[in-house]
């Protein structure tokens, strides 16, 4: 079997506290934690994320319904992590069935929820989109489009 030239595996965000991050990604957005790895001082993540000496790390892989292992959270603890200055340099974009519920529950967690905008899809559909910033400054854009163009 020939492998495709590229296959998207997952997005990954750095967080300071996996348990706290899961209150948004699992409890609000609906991801399921597929597996978690504890601190590994030999982890490749230490090199590629430039994790400072003395930090401990953890790793959580998340799945969405019918979409296995599409998101990960890399936890960095025990060192100070400077916030990434604006502008946001990355985002995940998620279609959600109930943007009002997601935005409301994100607000209840104390997360920054941007004002809603009208979404103009490439195929003429008009929908809704809302940006949410998680506990660690990572941007998540949620949207909802009707099933068919009007």
In whole angstroms, what is the distance from residue 4 CA to residue 145 CA? 30
CATH topology classification for 89-150: 2,3-Dihydroxybiphenyl 1,2-Dioxygenase; domain 1 (3.10.180)
Q: Would you say residue 148 has pLDDT above 80?
A: no
Sheet holding 11-15, edge to edge: 11-15, 67-77, 56-64, 32-37
25 with 10: CB under 8 angstroms?
A: no
User: What's the pLDDT score for residue 19?
Assistant: 97
In whole angstroms, what is the distance from residue 69 CA to residue 33 CA? 9
- Overall average pLDDT of the 43-49 stretch: 89
In whole angstroms, what is the distance from residue 24 CA to residue 5 CA? 33
pLDDT tens digits, one per residue of 85-101: 899 999 999 999 999 99
In whole angstroms, what is the distance from residue 62 CA to residue 33 CA? 5
Locus of tokens 């603890």:
77
| In the chain, where the domains are located | 1-80, 89-150
User: What's the pLDDT score for residue 81?
Assistant: 86
Using omega within 30 degrees of 0 as the cis cutoff, is the peptide bond preceding 51 cis?
no
In whole angstroms, what is the distance from residue 150 CA to residue 147 CA? 9
DSSP 135: T
Q: Is domain 1-80 in CATH 3.10.180.10, yes or no?
A: yes
Q: Would you say residue 21 has pLDDT above 90?
A: yes
User: What's the pLDDT score for residue 150?
Assistant: 58
pLDDT tens digits, one per residue of 58-76: 999 999 999 999 999 999 9
Is 89-150 the same fold as 1-80?
yes
Q: How confident is the model at residue 149 (pLDDT cuts 50, 70, 90)?
A: low
């Amino acid at each position: 079997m020939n492998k495709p030239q590229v296959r998207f595996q997952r997005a990954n965000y750095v967080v300071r506290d996996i348990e706290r991050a899961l209150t948004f990604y699992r409890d609000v957005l609906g991801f399921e934690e597929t597996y978690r790895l504890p601190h590994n001082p030999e982890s490749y993540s230490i090199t590629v994320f430039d994790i400072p000496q003395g930090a401990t790390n953890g790793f959580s892989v998340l799945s969405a319904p019918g979409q296995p292992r599409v998101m990960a959270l890399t936890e960095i603890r025990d060192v100070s992590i400077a916030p990434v200055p604006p502008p946001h340099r990355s985002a995940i974009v998620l279609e959600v069935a109930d943007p009002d519920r997601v935005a409301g529950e994100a607000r209840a967690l104390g997360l920054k929820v941007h004002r809603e905008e009208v979404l103009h899809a490439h195929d003429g559909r008009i929908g809704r989109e809302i940006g949410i910033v998680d506990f660690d400054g990572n941007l998540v854009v949620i949207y909802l489009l009707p099933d068919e163009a009007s």
